[in-house]
Amino acid sequence: MTTPHTRRDLLLLLCLALLVRLLTACLLTGPPYMDVYYYTAGAYRLAEGRGLAEPFLWHYLDDPAGIPNPGFLYWMPLPSILAALFVALVGRSFLAAQLPFILLSALLPLVSYTVAWRIAESRRHAWAAGLLTIFSGFFTPFWVLPETFAPFALFGSLALWLSGKETETPASCFLPLASGLLVGLTHLTRADGLLLLPVVALAPLLSSQSRARRKVWSSVVGNWSLLLLGYLLVMAPWFIRNISLIGAPLSPAGTKTLWLTDYDDIFCYNCDLTLRSYLAWGWPNILQSKLFALWTNFQRLLAEDLMVFLLPFSIIGLYRLRRRLSFALSLVYLSLIYSVHSLAFTFPGWRGGFFHSSGVLLPFLHTAAVVGLDASVRWAARRRRGWNLRQAQAVFTAGIVVLAITLSTYGLLSKLPAWNNSEQIYHTVGDWLTVREVPDDTVVMARNPPGFWYHTARPAVVVPNEGVEGLLEAAARYHVEYLLLDQNCPRSLRPLYAGEEQDAHFVEAASWGEEGNRR
């Protein structure tokens, strides 16, 4: 139950979150990496009424016919849709594309505050959880990007929280329906948002009320029906669109990444990504890759979600809160995404998939950390005479918030130099092509096709992760006339980039140094 104090706290917390997010956004000059270029480019085109077709190919997993290509078959469309609304209202700028993500990420600390308040009815707990979510360490610079972080974390955490509340009002049909809508929004944000559906569906089975009436399956079936209805209200239009384009509700391109033996093979043109080719890689390599992913994702959980210093307190808090349904569901979700992003989608998982998906857990991990910290201080106070328990709890709570602010500042400032210089060479190359009156529809092969289109408004395809022969096959099929290589080109093409090898199929038209200066 909210009080005048909590309503005022929520308003103050929202204002602080908006201020921090807006300041963070203003420090960024443009998209920092391919994902953000992709969603921002999609938003610009949607805002201009060009639909969901893409003037670039960033992978060959679904054997694209050419340019333009149907968009959002691998990545989901909601981030671009959200950004497009604000670009259409405000105008074409990167800050306009950031605005919905500033707003959505500013709401996430309110979820943390509410979860903590419901658990402890302590304003100190609630404020601490909210502040830890504002200053969330390595997540901090990512919240404001036109990307999946903010909407996925907000919609997913709300879905888990509402599912935990269903037992408080068992007669209401609103909560399972709302949970289904939120799960649908998470899936429309990221493909692995689908994993939330079975987790949320466990709520009526795990609740004490359901255990007391196990024979009354009608209540469980009714809950599931409303959950599925809410989910389909969001996702059914997207499924229908995909069926009309590719004959299936979802593209099979994403499942091909199950069989990767190298992350960069996402960009391969001729790779045979099948179970047979994966098994041919050999069990020693397969097992080693799984163990590496398990260890790396644990490190990411420790550093990115728990900021290292929250680990012991979160473990204690999660244990103490294990009978709370929303926390039980969050632990199930954590186990599921950790397994899927380590043992199934091994290479995309440890390269960022797990990081993206784990933002859903922050309100629960931060609440658990504050609960665990209080329990730890209480335990220590019993063994140390002279401790003022309340004062000690307040001091240690302030201490972890200060540590979070420090780590968040470091996480942001360490990213800015590289992020604000991302792909600026593409603008230079675009000017060079314009001066030479190269037609606007000339296709260029580049490492980051969405980024190339963003800076030049010219079509592009990705440099395939293979040798010259495969590159030439892709270039011939997609009518590529220019190849743009940089220091991050595939290993097999580095001799060509460095000038150590020559090939009669290529004639050097221009070259630039690392600073973008013409050589």
Give backbone dihedrals phi and psi of 483, rounded to 5 degrees, phi first. -115, 125
Residue 218 pLDDT > 80, yes or no? no
Residue 63, token pair as written in the block:
């054997």
Residue 470, token pair as written in the block:
């495969």
307 and 381 part of one domain: yes
How far is Cα of residue 352 from the mean position of the Cα atoms in its chain?
8
341 and 434 part of one domain: no
Q: What is the pLDDT of residue 216?
A: 55
Residue environment code for 54-85, b if the CB has 16+ CB neighbours within 10 A, otherwise e: bbbbbbbbbebeebbbbbbbbbbbbbbbbbbb
CA pair distance 365, 311, nearest whole angstrom: 9
**Domain-located, residue 494:** yes
The residue out of 418, 449, 472 marking a domain boundary is 418
287 and 373 part of one domain: yes
306 and 386 part of one domain: yes
The residue out of 418, 443, 464 marking a domain boundary is 418
**Domain-located, residue 504:** no
Q: How confident is the model at residue 245 (pLDDT cuts 50, 70, 90)?
A: very high
Residue 265 pLDDT > 70, yes or no? yes
Range of the domain at 437: 424-498
Q: What is the pLDDT of residue 219?
A: 76
**Domain-located, residue 483:** yes
CA pair distance 376, 448, nearest whole angstrom: 48
**Domain-located, residue 406:** yes
At residue 370, the 3 state secondary structure works out as helix
The residue out of 402, 418, 434 marking a domain boundary is 418
**Domain-located, residue 233:** yes
Say how many Å lie between the first and final Cα of the chain, rounded. Answer: 67
Higher pLDDT, 508 or 148: 148
CA pair distance 113, 13, nearest whole angstrom: 9
451 and 302 part of one domain: no
347 and 462 part of one domain: no
3-state SS, one letter per residue, for 322-334: CCCHHHHHHHHHH
Task: Give residue-wise pLDDT tens across range 348-385.
Answer: 999 999 999 999 999 999 999 999 999 999 999 988 87
302 and 409 part of one domain: yes
Task: Give residue-wise pLDDT tens across range 425-448.
Answer: 999 999 999 999 999 999 999 999
Task: Give residue-wise pLDDT tens across range 170-217.
Answer: 556 789 999 999 999 999 999 999 999 999 999 988 875 555 455 556
Residue 480, token pair as written in the block:
């590529």
CA pair distance 282, 305, nearest whole angstrom: 33
Residue 483 bridge partners (DSSP): 445
351 and 489 part of one domain: no
How many structural domains is the chain composed of?
2
Average pLDDT over residues 133-139: 98
**Domain-located, residue 341:** yes
CA pair distance 127, 401, nearest whole angstrom: 10
Helix ranges, 308-441 (H) = 311-320, 325-339, 346-348, 354-358, 362-383, 389-419, 424-435
228 and 335 part of one domain: yes
Q: How confident is the model at residue 166 (pLDDT cuts 50, 70, 90)?
A: low
Average pLDDT over residues 482-511: 90
**Domain-located, residue 519:** no
409 and 472 part of one domain: no
Residue 5 pLDDT > 60, yes or no? yes
Q: How confident is the model at residue 513 (pLDDT cuts 50, 70, 90)?
A: confident
* Residues in the chain, total: 519
Q: What is the pLDDT of residue 169?
A: 56
242 and 287 part of one domain: yes
Q: Which helix or strand (DSSP H or E) is residue 474 part of? A: helix 468-477
CB 126 within 8 A of CB 117: yes
CA pair distance 488, 490, nearest whole angstrom: 7
What mean pLDDT is reported for the chain? 94
Average pLDDT over residues 55-62: 97
Residue 43 pLDDT > 60, yes or no? yes
Q: What is the pLDDT of residue 220?
A: 84
238 and 308 part of one domain: yes
**Domain-located, residue 434:** yes
